[in-house]
Amino acid sequence: MTCNQWIRRALCAAVVATMLPGAALGQSREGSGATSGASESEGGGGGLGDLFLEDGRSILHGYSVIGGVFTESGQTEFSGWKHDHPLTPVGMGFRYYERNGFVSGTIAAIAISMAGSAAASGPKRVETWESGGYRYTRKTYYSPAERQAMLAATSAAASGVFGAKHQSFDLQVYSRYLGGNAEGYKVNMLFGVPFADGQGMFDFGFGWGNIKSATGESGQYLITKYTYAGMPFRLNYTFGPVVAYAHWDWNWIGHMDGTEYNKKENLGGTTGATSKTPGNTTEIFTSGFPWRFGAQTSLLGRIYLEAAALTPSLTSGKFGYNLSAGARF
């Protein structure tokens, strides 16, 4: 058995073994009502579930930094799903996930500051006209008071987004060193709005990424190139010690069907005087609007586990999976 298969099976076993008992323990605590509350206040503890599995609201609202590994396979967003290619790339790599931290706010604040400063120092109005065979351009700049007001508004906006309470940052780095056949990265910056008295959270933000894969089997080869730039949306809801979520990436590149994206090329063939031999290598520039339906939990407050079912498009009928595990601080 290869290292790749060992890692995927170990992650799968850990996630399933932890989440199923966790959901049951969480439902048991919620359903016990006043009796449970009385026993907790008298005994000073919340039972086995509280000891091993952290409450989902703590995962959703508490500050945490997670570093670990992940594996992803099946008909994912960077596979040849649009062309029904039989080969499926395997992505493995490292993950940095931060909840209620500062990375997303810092990046957004820097971007706002740079954009505001550029606008304040740029021209307020540009006029162009022609006269006597010559072309003239006149630029009108902001007054010192106007620039000061613009910079003050920029500073207020940057400070607000930097200090946003419910923000998260998710970075996945795909690497072939762990046994997969994909390389690249994917980033999502999210800002959340709680609802249902804090039991749920709606996240939205901005994301980008680039993933390449090269898969070979039985003399056939698949090369995929995936580009992501758009807005992620995530709906989170807690069930005891589990945070369930539905995540959609609105990938703006997916609207570019008329360009090089989503095209398919056959490489490696030969062309003779009267015949043409098809190549054994398929190169696909792929894109989509991927969905992810998953669950997160924390074991002993330090071990983070997540499992998700993936589909590159809700109407595609194609599915994959993503498993991740890491240390939580």
| pLDDT confidence bin for 53, thresholds 50/70/90 | confident
- What beta strand segments (E) does 77-199 contain? 91-99, 123-131, 134-141, 167-174, 182-195
Greater confidence, 124 or 258? Answer: 124
Q: Report whether pLDDT(175) > 50.
A: yes
Place of tokens 């792929």: 286
Residue range 235-261: mean pLDDT, rounded: 86
Alpha-carbon distance values, 268 to 162, 210, 216, 299 (Å): 51, 25, 14, 50
The string of pLDDT tens digits covering residues 81-140 is 888 888 889 999 999 999 988 888 898 889 889 998 888 888 989 999 998 889 989 989
Q: Report whether pLDDT(16) > 70.
A: no
Q: State the Cα–Cα distance between residues 286 and 237, nearest whole angstrom.
A: 31
SS3 324: strand
Percent of all residues in the chain with a pLDDT value above 70, rounded to a whole number: 78
How much is the pTM? 0.75
Residue range 145-170: mean pLDDT, rounded: 90
The domain segmentation of the chain, as residue ranges, is 3-13+55-102+163-328
Task: Look over the chain and give the mean of its residue pLDDT values, rounded to a whole number.
Answer: 81
Amino acid at 325: A
Alpha-carbon distance values, 294 to 90, 184, 244, 288 (Å): 19, 22, 6, 19
The pLDDT value given to residue 266: 64
The pLDDT value given to residue 288: 85
Q: State the Cα–Cα distance between residues 283 and 87, nearest whole angstrom.
A: 12
